[in-house]
Amino acid sequence: MKDDNFLRENNARHLWHPMGHPGALQETPPTIFTGASGVHLHDLDGHTVIDAVGGLWCVNLGYSNDALKQTIAERVHQLPYCSNFGGSTNDAAIEASFAVREFFADDGMARVFFTSGGSDAVDTALRLARQYHRLRGEPGRTKFLSLKKGYHGTHWGGASVNGNNRFRINYEPLLPGCFHIPAPYTYRNPFNESDPERLADNIVSAMADEIAFQGAGSIAAFIMEPILGAGGVLVPHASLMPRLRQLCSDNGILFIADEVICGFGRTGSWTGSRHFGVKPDMMTVAKGITSAYFPVGGCLVSDQVAEVFETSGADGAIFTGYTYSAHPVGAAAVVTCLSETLRLDTKSNAGPRGTQLYEGALRLQEKYDFIGDVRGGTGLMCGIELVSDRDAKTPMDMDIMTRVHKAAYEAGTNTRLGANNILMSPPLVISEAEVAQIIDNLDTAFATV
């Protein structure tokens, strides 16, 4: 490995980072991480910080799961790659598919199509939804519905159903036939409705109206995150997801639950769908499926969807997929990660630690009047929205957001900014003392505003 000076001199010089400005990052280079342990990240300057972001909502098992590390190392030696197109497979892929099916049995999922990450999984789900309707003799069902503020990755399909214009406008025009329903965002919404249940009523009405307007027979699928993560940790009223699911069933529209963040215990239940008592037609997963130690995602389908594909003629063949679909190292990582997730019962820690984080953030809101909204309390994800004027809800200036982020980091906690929101989704194995430290460090950072 090159020395520290080399790393600093070449930082962001030859690498364009996702979700960042390449010029600005040359001016203000990104933090260089060189190691991690437990729930901590270690940087080149010698700081050790709690990773309150859990990588990117993904390092659910923390950074020190030796079983997972060992599995990956062994697999690389045994079978570093194997194509899974058509006529070949690998032992780990078979085992991983069995483990995934068992993990998601209570959600009614019957088959998995492995991908390299969440964006691939979403794109696969959207494609398979269209193909499903063609196979059933309704090729006119091609449109997609989704929620504003939802995040579904960055492939063309996922970006088209994304509900945040930051990820859209530079790349438009996107896929035609994608329509967006208002988000369960009590702090800001077009209905001026702060009550979560009444907001859910409005959203259900808006979706029913959109379905009638588009014509149910033209819509292939609706996709939503059970709790909207990157959009700011928007926790809907418990009635919303079941009612939207019902609306889809009534109109022949496939319901896709995007569980890329919510899956694998983050909500305090094994899946967000299960948390809200919904059985979707399809699910998309990634991140926690390997705790991000190896890039893997998946599109899962129910028995009923599987049957349509498996019993149809030649048109049932799936002509999409990735070189790394069911990668033997990734598949082995899935098997170990799922068994570690169950062994450590991470969902049972996510619940109380999530409540602790949320309540701590609410206490900070009482102390600092620039905290406009605090969202969370359902599992281990929390959003703190900063405003410069609480009455006008004016989003906090980005310079101040950056300053708060830096101050929190210097105090000992790594957070993530999503516009004027501080977003947190720590590893699900975090301890009570570590969550307390996050709150203390945020307090220190807010005191600098």
Ligand X SMILES: Cc1ncc(COP(=O)(O)O)c(C=O)c1O
Which residues sit at the interface with ligand X, rule CB under 6 A?
56, 117-119, 122, 151-153, 225, 229-230, 258, 260-261, 286, 297
Q: From the CB of 223, what's the least distance to ligand X, in Å? A: 9
Q: From the CB of 311, what's the least distance to ligand X, in Å? A: 30
Nearest to ligand X of 117, 360 (CB atom): 117
Nearest to ligand X of 226, 360 (CB atom): 226
Nearest to ligand X of 151, 324 (CB atom): 151
From the CB of residue 350, how many other CB atoms can be counted at a distance below 10 Å? 27
Pick from 386, 306, 324: which is nearest to 121 by CA?
A: 324
Sheet holding 40-43, edge to edge: 33-37, 40-43, 48-51, 413-414
Q: From the CB of 366, what's the least distance to ligand X, in Å? A: 30
Q: In 311-416, which residue ranges form alpha helices assigned H by DSSP? A: 328-344, 346-367, 398-411
Rounded Cα distance between 243 and 287, Å, is 27
Q: From the CB of 150, what's the least distance to ligand X, in Å? A: 7
Q: The tokens of 293 are what?
A: 């130690």
Query: Which amino acid is located at 1 in the chain?
Result: M
Pick from 287, 324, 368, 284: which is nearest to 61 by CA?
A: 287
Q: How far is CA 231 from the centre of its chain?
A: 10
Pick from 157, 156, 208, 159: which is nearest to 181 by CA?
A: 208
Q: From the CB of 432, what's the least distance to ligand X, in Å? A: 27
Nearest to ligand X of 60, 441 (CB atom): 60
Q: The tokens of 323 are what?
A: 């070189």
Cα distances (Å, whole numbers) of residue 227 to 234, 404, 419, 429, 449: 6, 25, 18, 20, 29
Pick from 209, 210, 280, 196: which is nearest to 238 by CA?
A: 196
**Beta strand 219-224 pairing with 178-181:** unpaired
∠ CA 293-342-429, rounded to 5°: 60
Nearest to ligand X of 130, 287 (CB atom): 287
Q: From the CB of 425, what's the least distance to ligand X, in Å? A: 10
Nearest to ligand X of 167, 446 (CB atom): 167
Rounded Cα distance between 374 and 124, Å, is 34
Rounded Cα distance between 144 and 130, Å, is 9
Rounded Cα distance between 220 and 140, Å, is 8
Nearest to ligand X of 378, 437 (CB atom): 378
Q: From the CB of 447, what's the least distance to ligand X, in Å? A: 31
Rounded Cα distance between 321 and 325, Å, is 6
Q: From the CB of 58, what's the least distance to ligand X, in Å? A: 8
**CB-nearest residue to ligand X:** 118
Pick from 426, 332, 446, 315: which is nearest to 379 by CA?
A: 426
Query: Which amino acid is located at 107 in the chain?
Result: D
Q: From the CB of 19, what's the least distance to ligand X, in Å? A: 10
Nearest to ligand X of 122, 333 (CB atom): 122
Nearest to ligand X of 228, 407 (CB atom): 228
Q: From the CB of 192, what's the least distance to ligand X, in Å? A: 27
Check: CB of residue 81 under 8 Å from CB of residue 326. Answer: no
244's CB contacts (< 8 A; 6+ apart) are 203, 204, 207, 222, 224, 255
Nearest to ligand X of 125, 248 (CB atom): 125
Nearest to ligand X of 272, 377 (CB atom): 272
Q: From the CB of 412, what's the least distance to ligand X, in Å? A: 25
